[in-house]
């Protein structure tokens, strides 16, 4: 049997069932606050003496160019455990940050896997033409379009043979949203494993390692205060547009072009939210209808952890950028 135990109500365990049982013979569970969640299963005919390993052997760091993910990247690389870096190029991110990530991977000698949304030319623009610039409550939907679908496809690549986990810099205390139900450093969102090794570390501890090891972060922090690797607009302010113009004039021009496109070709709903920072926020009924169109029932049940693991705190001010600088 297998176990990783925090206390009597929070642990991982494997269930082994007889060959005659209709359910898969090996099942991995996570128990949090006394409730069990099935993380994965495998069916095989078992014999006495058989040994099975349910393990992760490939650790890919989801790197945004920020402090926390930078600390995780360097720690794993120092231990020889980093199999590579995943960067999600949403095409609405600051180019400086993409270049920074590329430079960091080159200097560390690590393979960089860059993934883009598909279909690329319509992913973000099509959403804005239908709904306008996304607001906080629509962040999960635009997150799936720009990031999660690409991340999921990457995880399903046969090269990983289901042994890959995406490693991030999520910390329990770093944002207001993480004081909610998200309380575990390891989660499984089929087919994605998310591992956050600094989940329980303090801001002071992370900063100490960051400074002591002279780790760099994207130069966009000096102007924007965050990496800007995805500027979907969900948590944008009107003042932010001028900062984007200073950091990445081409991205600013894209935002202006989308604004004009919404005014000319957008739906009646989209035209209400055609200005950057004046973002859409629908009522509960419409919001639920949209979520049902974008997510499967299983994905809706895990929406909070999907959103946090996929986007971290760099998407916008307020809840997702966190309480601490």
In tens digits, the chain (325 residues) has pLDDT values of: 344 445 556 666 667 766 666 677 677 777 776 677 777 676 766 676 666 555 678 999 999 999 999 999 999 999 999 999 999 998 899 999 999 999 999 999 999 999 998 765 567 898 899 888 988 878 888 888 889 888 989 988 888 877 889 999 888 776 544 445 556 788 877 678 888 888 888 889 999 999 999 999 999 998 888 888 988 888 888 888 889 999 999 999 999 999 999 999 999 989 988 988 776 667 777 777 777 777 777 777 777 777 777 876 555 433 343 333 3
Contacts of 190 (CB under 8 A, 6+ apart): 40, 298
Q: How far apart are CA 11 and CA 303, in angstroms?
A: 22
Within its chain, how far is the Cα of 194 from the centroid? 9
Could you tell me if 42 and 161 are in contact, meaning their C-beta atoms sit under 8 angstroms apart?
Answer: no
Best CA proximity match to 137, nearest among 300, 311, 282: 282
Q: Is the bond preceding 258 in cis, omega lying within 30 degrees of 0?
A: no
In DSSP terms, 165 is beta-bridged to 59
Best CA proximity match to 282, nearest among 137, 143, 125: 137
Q: How far apart are CA 296 and CA 285, in angstroms?
A: 17
Best CA proximity match to 77, nearest among 40, 98, 105: 105
Indicate where the chain has its CATH 3.40.50.620 domain(s).
55-301
Q: Which fold has domain 55-301?
A: Rossmann fold (3.40.50)
Q: Is the bond preceding 191 in cis, omega lying within 30 degrees of 0?
A: yes
Best CA proximity match to 96, nearest among 5, 14, 218, 263: 218
């Amino acid at each position: 049997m297998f176990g990783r135990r925090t206390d009597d109500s929070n642990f991982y365990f494997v269930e082994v069932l007889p060959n005659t049982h209709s359910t898969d013979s090996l099942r991995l569970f996570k128990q949090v606050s006394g409730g069990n969640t099935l993380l994965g299963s495998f069916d095989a005919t078992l014999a006495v003496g058989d040994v099975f390993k349910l393990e992760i052997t490939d650790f890919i760091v989801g790197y945004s160019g920020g402090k926390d993910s930078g600390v995780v990247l360097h720690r794993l690389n120092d231990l020889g455990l980093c199999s590579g870096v995943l960067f999600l190029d949403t095409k609405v991110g600051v180019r400086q940050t993409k270049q920074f990530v590329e430079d960091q991977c080159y200097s560390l000698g690590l393979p960089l896997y860059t993934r883009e949304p598909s279909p690329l030319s319509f992913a973000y623009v099509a959403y804005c033409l239908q709904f306008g610039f996304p607001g906080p409550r629509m962040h999960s939907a635009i997150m799936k379009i720009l990031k999660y679908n690409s991340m999921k496809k990457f995880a399903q690549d046969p090269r990983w043979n289901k042994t890959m986990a995406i490693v991030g810099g999520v910390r329990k205390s770093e944002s207001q949203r993480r004081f909610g139900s998200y309380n575990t450093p390891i989660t499984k969102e089929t087919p994605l494993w998310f591992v956050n090794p600094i989940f329980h570390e303090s801001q002071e501890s992370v900063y100490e390692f960051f400074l002591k090891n002279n780790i760099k972060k994207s130069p966009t922090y000096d102007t924007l205060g965050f990496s800007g690797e995805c500027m979907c607009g969900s948590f944008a302010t009107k003042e932010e547009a001028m900062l984007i113009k200073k950091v990445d004039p081409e991205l600013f021009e894209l935002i202006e072009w989308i604004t004009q496109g919404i005014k000319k070709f957008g739906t009646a709903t989209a035209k209400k939210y055609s200005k950057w920072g004046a973002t859409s926020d629908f009522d509960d009924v419409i919001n639920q209808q949209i979520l049902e169109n974008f997510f499967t029932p299983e994905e809706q049940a895990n929406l909070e952890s999907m959103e946090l693991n996929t986007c971290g705190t760099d998407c916008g001010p307020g809840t997702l950028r966190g309480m601490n600088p």
